[in-house]
Amino acid sequence: EVQLVESGGGLVQPGRSLRLSCAASGFTFDDYAMHWVRQAPGKGLEWVSGISWNSGSIGYADSVKGRFTISRDNAKNSLYLQMNSLRAEDTALYYCAKDSKYQLHQRGHFDYWGQGTLVTVSS
Amino acid sequence: DIQMTQSPSSLSASVGDRVTITCQASQDISNYLNWYQQKPGKAPKLLIYDASNLETGVPSRFSGSGSGTDFTFTISSLQPEDIATYYCQQYDNLPFTFGGGTKVEIK
């Protein structure tokens, strides 16, 4: 059974940093691209970032480019999101999602999602 | 960036009704369009990929069609368990943008 378990969320002050983690199990982690998708309270889904199977291809939403860094450790079956210079508008539930393909540009789909970890940016 | 315009933003229908949601892309995305269902307090779930392919295990009352810039998602006979928000998503170009969502309620 595929499982994605996010952690690392919490309350953080504007301008500070936070690192999210996603622990994957039930599938061969290094065979697939992975993504972060967020959802602000009461709002829709926003794709944040994606990374190919070998970290060779990475993409970011314009809203986080230069502040967030996605990475993965295939030996630990884990996905990460380093979030720096956090803003109030980054407050959201952050989901980890598995791609159906191994490259970002293979045009797959997000076939499994975690339950999310909540990030609140407030002073 | 490719903009995805979904309509309506909400709808109310009776059990057994046919429900249709549309999604329009700001440029040609071929058939690289996915549909997700999100029930309250839950993570999104993939229903349809590549515009018209039903994900394994998803009931056949759900279907999708379209290509290019115009896409349609249909529930052929609305069931109480279909109460959710539905999102389209383009996967043709980075960033992979979602539509604004359609909240489906029972009348």
Q: Do B43 and A46 touch (CB under 8 A)?
A: no
CA dist., res. B33 & res. A108, Å (int): 10
Contact B89 A47 (CB under 8 A): yes
- Phi, psi dihedral angles at A89 (to 5 degrees): -75, -5
In angstroms, the CA A81 to CA A64 distance is: 11
Chain B nearest-CA distance from A10, in A, is 18
Phi/psi of residue A88, nearest 5 degrees: -55, -35
B31 → chain A, closest CA residue: A107
Find the closest chain B residue to A6 by CA distance: B43
pLDDT tens sequence across A25-38: 999 999 999 999 99
State phi, psi for A56 to the nearest 5 degrees: -75, -20
Q: Which structure tokens are listed for A92? A: 């959201």
Contact B76, B17 (CB under 8 A): no
Q: In tens digits, what is the pLDDT along chain B, a chain of 107 residues?
A: 999 999 999 999 999 999 999 999 999 999 999 999 999 999 999 999 999 999 999 999 999 999 999 999 999 999 999 999 999 999 999 999 999 999 999 99
φ, ψ (nearest 5 deg) of residue A103? -115, 150
